[in-house]
Chains A and B, each alone.
Chain A
Amino acid sequence: MPPVPGRRPPSLRVSAAGWSFVTPFLVVFTLMIITPLVYSMYLSLFRNQLMGGTTFAGFANYVTAFSDPKLWDGAGRVGLFLLVQVPIMLSLALIAALAIDSGRLHGKSFFRVALFLPYAVPGVVAVLMWGFMYDDRLGLTASLNDLVGFALVDPYTKKWILTAIGNIVTWEFVGYNMLILYSALKTVPNEIYEAAAIDGANQFRIVRSIKLPAVRGALVIATIFSILGSFQLFNEPNILKEIQPALISSYYTPNIYAYNLTFVGNQVSYAATVAIVMGLITAVLAYVVQLRGTRRDA
């Protein structure tokens, strides 16, 4: 928490000024985030039927959701994605941040900018580029497989498609995460490194004892954002579906499932339930990461 400004209780005038800065944001926040959230909880208590219209259903939708194989198929997939892709992406980001911060690179600012650049590329364009490059006929995959003489990688198969999506997401966000971690490393005062050098600490010792503890908080934040991103996975598979319709089902991820329930199946209440269930799982995971991450250092 930041230092609380002022030592005396706030005057009425200052208090009113504080509210005047915050109120415009709060109004839009209430309309655009709180209202849909509450509405979605309300919706999840009803049932949409082709015959008989919409009726109150209590928690029936939640009961359905907990034994819905389509939902858990998608949830399992994004769970697997989270367990594999996020550690790879964050490790790469951490290695890059440490390397750039070490000052031992030629052209350090070029590295920082070039690695961050993909973050500015719209997800749609990222998927388009990789989607074409993956193509066995016109893409680089064909060139690579020709080079080694056999089908080393084949992104457009059931076996590879999730990896192919993971690669796109990694490409988009590794530089962004690197920047978050690098910013945290920059806050370590130089005197600490000088003291460590005088004490004869080598590079690895400095990384382990000074730098890694310094990025801990930033790593927790990056992990939480990655959990949110994984569980919301939608854009990449949904766009790839245009290129490879057979490989991406209508319930490939929970979000794609909710989208199709709403706009294809007209089951808005059940779609709201799916979104809430996934939102709860995400929030619990994020909370656990936060608790573990901010525990006193072992």
Chain B
Amino acid sequence: MAGYSYLRPRKSITLTVLLGALIVYSILPLTWMLFSITKTQSELLSSFGLWFSGPFALFENLQQVVTHDDGIFVRWFANTMLYVVVGAGGATILATAAGYGLAKYRFRGRNAVFATILGAIAVPGTALAVPTFLLFSQVGLTNTIWAIILPSLVSPFGLYLMWVFSAEAVPTEILEAARVDGAGEWRTFFTISLRLLAPGIVTVALFAIVATWNNYFLPLIMLNDPNLYPLTLGLYQWLADASGIGAQPVFNLVITGSFLTIVPIVIAFLLLQRYWQSGLSAGGVKA
């Protein structure tokens, strides 16, 4: 068949359908959610999950979510934004500078630093949670925003990605040329390297944002003031309220709140996909 080569093969309908089954599995819960947010509490409990039923209650549900309990959901949303901007933002900055430094500079102790950090990737995060809680409670940091922000600042995996990416994306010759011209190392970093590192930085930032946005275990341990909760812990609280004995069932709140929780992060991923896909490909070179 002229026009088809190995690099531009004929499309296969069989393969498309087969993999389509996996996609159905992948989007099934999200589809269920899209139908469920339009239902009232009673319809939710009595109708088929994958179609509309009863009055279209989406706007009532949304309104109920943002006004329930004096609008605590809005507060949780703002808290999550704060934790993401400061925590994930800080983690990205630290990982970018350190990954770049390890990839592009030779200095005494470099290998020891690298081995320690790689070893830390293998330390289960939850093994650190209990001792971190005890240390924080001794210095009065539990039940404050810092209990969430400070541990979020470290991303050994982000550093690893940045190290691999910097080694590929920033030619050493450019740094040497800048050095000959008498530019300081940090100035070279800001004026030249940063632009070359952009796809890698977006990738690291996205993974840090997901980790912080989705964080559940750390807030569960550290916080008991609902005013400091992120969305994940707030939703968990609502679920517990809805499931307890003699509880007032608020399943429609839990489901609509869940929907509002995933919308921003899904949009961020879709908008930035060009960046993170190229960032990850470069990471795959050394992986």
Please name all residues of chain A whose beta carbon is closer than 8 Å to the beta carbon of B100 when the two chains form the complex. Answer: 21
Q: Chain A contact residues: over half helix, strand or loop, or mixed? A: helix
User: Does A129 lie within 8 Å of B32, measured CB to CB?
Assistant: yes
User: Does A107 lie within 8 Å of B133, measured CB to CB?
Assistant: no
Known: A122-B232, A221-B287. Is A132-B251 also a contact (CB below 8 A)? yes
The distance from the CB of B140 to the nearest CB of chain A, in whole angstroms, is 16
User: Does B32 lie within 8 Å of A140, measured CB to CB?
Assistant: yes
Q: Which of A132, A242, A279 contacts B236 (CB 8 A)?
A: A242
The distance from the CB of B49 to the nearest CB of chain A, in whole angstroms, is 5
When each residue 41-67 of chain B gets 1 if its CB lies under 8 Å from chain A and 0 otherwise, what string results? Answer: 000111011100000000000000000
Binds B, one of A12-20, A61-69, A151-159: A12-20
The distance from the CB of A134 to the nearest CB of chain B, in whole angstroms, is 11
Please name all residues of chain A whose beta carbon is closer than 8 Å to the beta carbon of B18 when the two chains form the complex. Answer: 99
Give the docked Cα–Cα distance between A35 and B141 (Å). Answer: 15
Please name all residues of chain B whose beta carbon is closer than 8 Å to the beta carbon of A286 when the two chains form the complex. Answer: 122
User: Does B107 lie within 8 Å of A40, measured CB to CB?
Assistant: no
User: Does A96 lie within 8 Å of B19, measured CB to CB?
Assistant: yes
Give the docked Cα–Cα distance between A217 and B284 (Å). Answer: 9
User: Does A99 lie within 8 Å of B19, measured CB to CB?
Assistant: yes
The reply to whether the CB of A104 lies closer than 8 angstroms to some CB of chain B is yes
User: Does A171 lie within 8 Å of B284, measured CB to CB?
Assistant: no
Give the docked Cα–Cα distance between A208 and B219 (Å). Answer: 45
Give the docked Cα–Cα distance between A193 and B5 (Å). Answer: 10
The reply to whether the CB of B38 lies closer than 8 angstroms to some CB of chain A is no
Please name all residues of chain B whose beta carbon is closer than 8 Å to the beta carbon of A35 when the two chains form the complex. Answer: 135
The reply to whether the CB of B72 lies closer than 8 angstroms to some CB of chain A is no
Known: A22-B98, A125-B262, A197-B5. Is A234-B126 also a contact (CB below 8 A)? yes
Give the docked Cα–Cα distance between A118 and B243 (Å). Answer: 25
User: Does B167 lie within 8 Å of A122, measured CB to CB?
Assistant: no
User: Does B12 lie within 8 Å of A143, measured CB to CB?
Assistant: no
User: Does A37 lie within 8 Å of B284, measured CB to CB?
Assistant: no
Known: A15-B106, A171-B29. Is A21-B97 also a contact (CB below 8 A)? yes
User: Does A37 lie within 8 Å of B107, measured CB to CB?
Assistant: no
The reply to whether the CB of B240 lies closer than 8 angstroms to some CB of chain A is yes
The reply to whether the CB of B134 lies closer than 8 angstroms to some CB of chain A is yes
A-B contact pairs, 8 of them (CB 8 A): A29-B156, A36-B131, A117-B266, A122-B262, A125-B258, A255-B126, A258-B130, A272-B130
Please name 8 further chain A to chain B contacts, defined as beta carbons within 8 Å, in addition to the given A139-B49, A275-B127, sorted by A numbering: A5-B175, A26-B98, A29-B117, A29-B154, A32-B151, A183-B283, A217-B287, A278-B127
